[in-house]
């Protein structure tokens, strides 16, 4: 039985939106770390807060969703 060949470079690549979201979270977490004075021990809290903030910013507002429905 022939095996399907999958290029490792294609299989391992994250999608572009996921990659850019991850970078945005990373940047924001670092900003939060610096805002705390660079103190150790808050990395998980910084990351989780950054995730929430980035995800909230990337979601369309309710009014934007309503406007998009009206156009359709």
- Sign of the CA dihedral with 62 first, then 63, 68, and 72 last: positive
* For residue 17, pLDDT beyond 90: no
> Span 48-64, mean pLDDT?
85
Measured between alpha carbons, how far is 16 from 8 in angstroms, rounded to an integer? 17
User: In the chain, where are the structural domains located?
Assistant: 15-71
> Span 17-42, mean pLDDT?
94
> Span 58-65, mean pLDDT?
68
Q: What mean pLDDT is reported for the chain?
A: 80
* For residue 44, pLDDT beyond 80: yes
């Amino acid at each position: 039985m022939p095996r399907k060949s999958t290029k490792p470079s294609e299989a391992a690549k994250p999608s572009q939106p996921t990659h850019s979201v991850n970078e945005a979270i990373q940047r924001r977490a670092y900003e939060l770390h610096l805002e705390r004075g660079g103190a150790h021990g808050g990395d998980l809290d910084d990351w989780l807060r950054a995730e929430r903030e980035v995800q909230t910013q990337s979601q369309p507002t309710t009014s934007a969703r309503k406007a998009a429905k009206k156009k359709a």
